[in-house]
Amino acid sequence: MNNFAKAVGVGFVSLGLWSSTALAQDSWWKTAAQPYQGATIRGISESTPASKYVEQVLGPKFTEETGIKVEFEATSWDQMYDKAIKDMEANTGIYDFVYIEQDIVYTYLARNFLVDITKSLADNAKIASPDFKPENFTTFLNYFKDPKSGNVMGVPMEAFIKPYLYRKDLFEDPAIQKAYKDATGADLKPATTHEEYTQIAKFFTEYGADKELWGTTVQASSSHPAAFYEFFESVAPTFGVYNWGIDGTTFAATEANGGQMNSAAAKKALNYWVDLLKYAPPESTSSTWDEVAGTFAAGRAAQGLVYGENAAWIATDESKSTVVGKVGVALPPVEAGVMEAAGSGKGYIGYYDGGAFGIPHSSKNKDASLLFLQYIGQASVQTDWALAGSRIVMNSTYDDPKIVEQDQKMNGYYTLMRDDGKLFAGAPPYPFHSQVLQVVAPFIYKAIVGEIKPDDALDQAATAAEAELVKLGYRK
């Protein structure tokens, strides 16, 4: 979900800066890897900043220390899933480790695709690294544990929230503040309500008519699941519609049967989101997470919901971003009562995204892959990885001086994630994730292009989701 692949030539932190802690463990890694000398493990992931760091830094360093070669394929989101799932279904063993996004892990667990990491290390103590400690991870690790056994099934490699980014240089410009005040009667500041957000979007679209500047980003590709995800995981929750509007007990989706997918709140949310397209750049109806990040980095939007994995390079990398030093970070705007519900644990205000690497049962090199997953799960490799991909999976990383320094350049993104990350949540634990997405997303696409009205789109989507859940045997 990033614009990073366009800048593959940009180097990472020098290998020469590798921490002394990791180097000190060379002897352990070499000893543990002796039985697997000359082996090649193959992995696949989405081409994100965090994944590119694995490909260009962690993989080569692991090979240097162990003699185990890492072949890593960083590809598009849809190709990643297509290749990984087909490999695991056919049991062909092409890949030895795969990226597991938080919202798909429940499907993988239900289909028994993954090796139990906890059990595997307990069964083979010779390859259990003393530096791999699950307790060092943030609670994000819990998403990758087997709900029944509590065992770890994936090692987190990236985690981030989806915050509200805004252009500080625009919001804090005295002339613009006066113009906004004259036009709206309100002070210009990051929105806390949807009405404020729309008002700001409208103002900046009019203000930027001759400047290639629009009021907001919208991740509204009319042919890609990114639109489904932005609406159901980032926008709908700010209106109090959680878990895609599907009841987790009865699996009802329609309001008539106790679901929320076509509730009044959900319809208000979709109307709001589709309406924002009037104030968004023309590329918005073909924008996935990649294009949204690129749009914001190009200075084409005054505000937007942008995945946190892109926050670091947008805010700090002048080779790829035109808004370095101009990025503000805030919580998303919400409806009345939603922030309180999130604070009490009864709701959430947006998506806590990220993923882990897991080992397929079909892997032909499980032990060598277990070594690699532990290697990337050391505390000693986390800081520079975080600097490259604005991802944090261990609590100790927040306090590292390098991260504290970058946090200041990012206007407090890491502080926001640490202090308010609890207000965000991962996707619901639905093993039917992909099936419901496939039947619901087309109605969201139709609403985006104006083929049907948002209210009708959700009525039809809820009906289709419920029918699919009946078909799958979840709803009786």
What is the residue-level pLDDT of the chain in tens, covering all 476 positions? 443 333 333 344 434 444 444 444 457 999 999 999 999 999 999 998 899 999 999 999 999 999 999 999 999 989 999 999 999 999 999 999 999 999 899 999 999 999 999 999 999 999 999 999 999 999 999 999 999 999 999 999 999 999 999 999 999 999 999 999 999 999 999 999 999 999 999 999 999 999 999 999 999 999 999 999 999 999 999 999 999 999 999 999 999 999 999 999 999 999 999 999 999 999 999 999 999 999 999 999 999 999 999 988 999 999 999 999 999 999 999 999 999 999 999 999 999 999 999 999 999 999 999 999 999 999 999 999 999 988 999 999 999 999 999 999 999 999 999 999 999 999 898 999 999 999 999 999 999 999 999 999 999 999 999 999 999 999 98
* pLDDT for the residue 25: 43
Any domain includes 25: no
Instruction: Check whether residue 267 and residue 130 sit in a common domain.
Output: no
Instruction: Check whether residue 38 and residue 83 sit in a common domain.
Output: yes
Any domain includes 20: no
Instruction: Check whether residue 90 and residue 131 sit in a common domain.
Output: yes
Alpha-carbon torsion 44, 48, 51, 55, what sign? Answer: positive
Grouping H, G, I as helix, E, B as strand and the rest as coil, residue 226 is helix
Instruction: Check whether residue 42 and residue 110 sit in a common domain.
Output: yes
Is residue 332 within 8 Å of residue 350, measured between CB atoms? yes
Any domain includes 204: yes
Cβ neighbours of residue 144 closer than 8 Å, sequence gap 6 or more:
100, 102, 105, 152, 153, 154, 155, 156, 356, 358
Any domain includes 6: no
Instruction: Check whether residue 290 and residue 172 sit in a common domain.
Output: yes
Instruction: Check whether residue 339 and residue 213 sit in a common domain.
Output: yes
Instruction: Check whether residue 379 and residue 240 sit in a common domain.
Output: no
Any domain includes 15: no
The length of the chain, given as a count of residues: 476
Strands 352-358 and 97-101: antiparallel
* pLDDT for the residue 62: 97
Instruction: Check whether residue 58 and residue 197 sit in a common domain.
Output: no
* pLDDT for the residue 186: 98
Grouping H, G, I as helix, E, B as strand and the rest as coil, residue 167 is strand
Instruction: Check whether residue 264 and residue 168 sit in a common domain.
Output: yes
Instruction: Check whether residue 203 and residue 115 sit in a common domain.
Output: no
Q: Which of 332, 299, 329, 353 is nearest to 409 (CA)?
A: 329
Global pTM reads 0.89
Instruction: Check whether residue 142 and residue 168 sit in a common domain.
Output: no
Alpha-carbon torsion 128, 134, 137, 140, what sign? Answer: positive
* pLDDT for the residue 214: 98
Report the distance separating Cα 351 and Cα 231, nearest Å: 11
Any domain includes 389: yes
In degrees and rounded to multiples of 5, residue 377 shows phi and psi of -95, 15
Which CATH number belongs to the domain containing residue 365 in this structure?
A: 3.40.190.10
Number of domains in the chain: 2
Q: Which residues form the domain of 184?
A: 164-350+427-472
Any domain includes 441: yes
Any domain includes 17: no
What order of strands is seen across the sheet that includes strand 97-101?
A: 69-75, 40-46, 97-101, 352-358, 155-161
Instruction: Check whether residue 181 and residue 230 sit in a common domain.
Output: yes
Q: Which of 292, 186, 159, 164 is nearest to 238 (CA)?
A: 164
